Amino acid sequence: MRYVAPASVAEVVALLAGDPEARVFAGATDLVPQMRAGRPEPSVAIDLKKIPRLTGVSLTDGTWRIGAAAPTADLTGNAALAADLPGLVYAGGLIGSDQIQNRATLGGNLCNASPAADSVPSLVVNDAQAVVAGPGGELTVRVIDIPSGPGRTSLQPGEFVVEFLIDRPLPSTSDAYLRLIPRTEMDIAIVGAAARVSLDGDGNCSSAAIALAAVAPTVVLVPAAAEALVGGPISDDVLATVAAACAEAADPIDDKRGTVAYRRQVAGVLAKRAVLEAAGRAGNGGGR
């Protein structure tokens, strides 16, 4: 294996185009364990962390730009980002230990394509866009369209994620993410649920999005739950409909961490609680 640390996106594109066995990495928190587990090592490990655009976190013209290789510690340490997107930042702070959060990234969490990836539902409910660079130049892709199955993405050979773009939330809007694990730290989600909620001046829900982790081969957006919320107050009846819609949308597996029935039920419970948490913050003006 060779190691290279290019200084520009164009260099990475050229390296990937010339070698199908080359692979980009940032924190290597998934790459190294996979190599240790016997997966073939890449011909070239392309370190993205020396490219400033890939490690930056900035707010420009009402849009947050989060570099795909920025460690999640740089999200949890950013008070302005945490005020605007508290659910996303909280999710970043759930992934692994302090040691891991100084290396792990949103780009890696998305492209490793674990169904249980904690940051992905929050990216999805905030309608994050991923800037993807490749042989054809750069294009912008919705994050929801990138995972295609466990360990698989829709990225084409030679493509990699450069950064995420998230519009600053409107006033009286907030997000939340909750996950269930059997302990307080350092585990993989049995179920995760993200919600984004906007309230109007009367306290009615004017816009919403709900997404689930670890209950299907990819992150699941649940439009039926959002439709149940929009247009009225967030009542117990509405929340029951949200929970039912999420349980219905969940298509989980049975494994040692949880059964299908348990995961479906928990998906509904966490979705309800995430909606209430997001709506509580939105009712206080959101991050504005």
Partner 1 sequence: MSRTHVSCNINGDDVEFLCDAGESLLDALRDEMRLMGAKEGCGTGDCGACSILMDGRLQCSCLIFAPEADGAAIVTVEGIADGDHLHPLQQCFLEGAALQCGVCTPGFLVAAKALLDRNPDPTETEVRYALAGNLCRCTGYDKIIRSVLAAADRMKEEVAG
Asked if 3 interacts with partner 1 (CB under 8 A), we say yes
Asked if 260 interacts with partner 1 (CB under 8 A), we say no
Asked if 98 interacts with partner 1 (CB under 8 A), we say yes
Using CB under 8 A, pick the residue from 1, 17, 170, 240 that binds partner 1: 1
Asked if 97 interacts with partner 1 (CB under 8 A), we say yes
If the CB atoms of residues 4 and 170 are measured against partner 1, the closer one turns out to be 4
If the CB atoms of residues 79 and 201 are measured against partner 1, the closer one turns out to be 79
Asked if 2 interacts with partner 1 (CB under 8 A), we say yes
Using CB under 8 A, pick the residue from 29, 114, 173, 174 that binds partner 1: 29
**What does the block give as tokens for 139?**
């294009």
Instruction: Count the neighbouring beta carbons within 10 Å of the beta carbon of residue 262.
Output: 15
Asked if 47 interacts with partner 1 (CB under 8 A), we say yes
- What's the closest the beta carbon of residue 86 comes to partner 1, in angstroms? 18
The distance of Cα 2 from the centroid of its chain, to the nearest Å, equals 30
Asked if 23 interacts with partner 1 (CB under 8 A), we say no
Residues making up the chain, counted from first to last = 288
Q: What dihedral angle (degrees, nearest 10) is formed by the CA atoms of 180, 30, 84, 9?
A: -160
Using CB under 8 A, pick the residue from 71, 86, 252, 287 that binds partner 1: 71
Asked if 108 interacts with partner 1 (CB under 8 A), we say no
If the CB atoms of residues 99 and 156 are measured against partner 1, the closer one turns out to be 99
Asked if 28 interacts with partner 1 (CB under 8 A), we say yes
Asked if 179 interacts with partner 1 (CB under 8 A), we say no
**What whole-number distance in Å separates Cα of residue 288 and Cα of residue 276?**
18
**What whole-number distance in Å separates Cα of residue 42 and Cα of residue 16?**
11
Asked if 168 interacts with partner 1 (CB under 8 A), we say no
Write b or e for each residue in 163-201: b if 16 or more Cβ atoms lie within 10 A of its Cβ, otherwise e: bbbbebbeebbbbbbbbbbeeeeeebbbbbbbbbbbbee
Token match 């066995």: residue?
Answer: 21
Q: Residue 182, SS3?
A: coil
Instruction: Count the neighbouring beta carbons within 10 Å of the beta carbon of residue 127.
Output: 15
Task: Report the candidate in 130, 145, 75 with the shortest Cα–Cα distance to residue 105.
Answer: 75
If the CB atoms of residues 104 and 197 are measured against partner 1, the closer one turns out to be 104
**What whole-number distance in Å separates Cα of residue 131 and Cα of residue 163?**
5
Asked if 7 interacts with partner 1 (CB under 8 A), we say no
Using CB under 8 A, pick the residue from 7, 139, 186, 261 that binds partner 1: 186
- What's the closest the beta carbon of residue 23 comes to partner 1, in angstroms? 12
If the CB atoms of residues 57 and 131 are measured against partner 1, the closer one turns out to be 57
If the CB atoms of residues 25 and 268 are measured against partner 1, the closer one turns out to be 25
Instruction: Count the neighbouring beta carbons within 10 Å of the beta carbon of residue 286.
Output: 24
**What whole-number distance in Å separates Cα of residue 209 and Cα of residue 219?**
13
Binding residues vs partner 1 (CB under 8 A): 1-3, 5, 27-29, 32-33, 35-36, 41, 45, 47, 49, 71, 73, 96-100, 102-103, 185-186
